Amino acid sequence: MKFITILILILMIRPVTVYGNFLKLHTPAKQVILYDHELKKVLFEKNSNEFMKPASMAKIMTAYIVFDRLQEGSLNLEDKLVVSKNAWKKGGSRTFLKLNSEVTISDLLMGLIVQSGNDAAIALAEGIAGSEEDFALQMNQYANSLEMNNTYFTNSTGWPHEDLKTTAYDLVKLTEALINNFPKLYKLFIEREFTFNEISQPNRNPLLVGRYKVPGADGLKTGHTNESGYGLIGSVLRKGRRITLVVNGLNSMRQRGKESKRLLELAFRETYVLRVFQNNDFLSTANVWLGNKSKIDLKAEKPLKILVNRSSLRMIKTTIIWNDPVKAPIKIGQKIGLINIKIPGRNDIKLNLVSKNKVNGLGPIDKLKSAINYLIFGGDVY
pLDDT in tens, 218-275: 999 999 999 999 999 999 999 889 999 999 999 999 999 999 999 999 999 887 878 8
pLDDT of residue 127: 97
Looking at residue 312, the DSSP 8-state letter turns out to be: G
pLDDT of residue 180: 97
Q: What's the mean pLDDT in 138-151?
A: 98
pLDDT class of 308 with cuts at 50, 70, 90: confident
The residues that are catalytic are 56, 59, 116
pLDDT of residue 8: 40
The structural domains of the chain, ordered by start, are 17-270 (3.40.710.10), 277-377 (2.60.410.10)
Identity of the amino acid at 159: W
**Given a cut of 60, is residue 124 above it in pLDDT?**
yes
Helix/strand/coil for 378: coil
**Given a cut of 50, is residue 49 above it in pLDDT?**
yes
State the pTM of this model. 0.84
Which uninterrupted H or E stretch holds 342?
A: strand 335-342
pLDDT of residue 249: 97
The pLDDT tens digits for 50-80 are 999 999 999 999 999 999 999 999 999 999 9
Residue 348 in contact with residue 338, Cβ under 8 Å? no
| Cα separation, 80 vs 76, whole angstroms | 9
The pLDDT tens digits for 358-380 are 999 877 766 666 666 666 655 54
pLDDT of residue 10: 32
Q: First and final CA of the chain: distance in angstroms?
A: 20
**Given a cut of 80, is residue 103 above it in pLDDT?**
yes
pLDDT of residue 98: 97
Identity of the amino acid at 134: D
pLDDT of residue 71: 97
pLDDT of residue 382: 41
What is the residue-averaged pLDDT of the chain? 90
pLDDT class of 4 with cuts at 50, 70, 90: low
Residue 69 in contact with residue 75, Cβ under 8 Å? yes
Q: What's the mean pLDDT in 192-220?
A: 95
Q: What's the mean pLDDT in 307-336?
A: 89
| Cα separation, 96 vs 263, whole angstroms | 34
Name the CA radius of gyration of the chain, rounded: 28
Which uninterrupted H or E stretch holds 185?
A: helix 183-186
**Given a cut of 70, is residue 14 above it in pLDDT?**
no
| Cα separation, 36 vs 42, whole angstroms | 6
| Cα separation, 343 vs 315, whole angstroms | 7
The pLDDT tens digits for 341-354 are 998 878 899 999 99
pLDDT of residue 255: 98
| Cα separation, 244 vs 267, whole angstroms | 10
| Cα separation, 99 vs 109, whole angstroms | 18
328 Cβ contact partners less than 8 Å away, ≥ 6 residues apart:
288, 289, 290, 291, 292, 293, 359, 360, 361, 362
pLDDT of residue 84: 97
**Given a cut of 50, is residue 12 above it in pLDDT?**
no
pLDDT of residue 215: 97
pLDDT of residue 58: 98
Residue 325 in contact with residue 338, Cβ under 8 Å? no
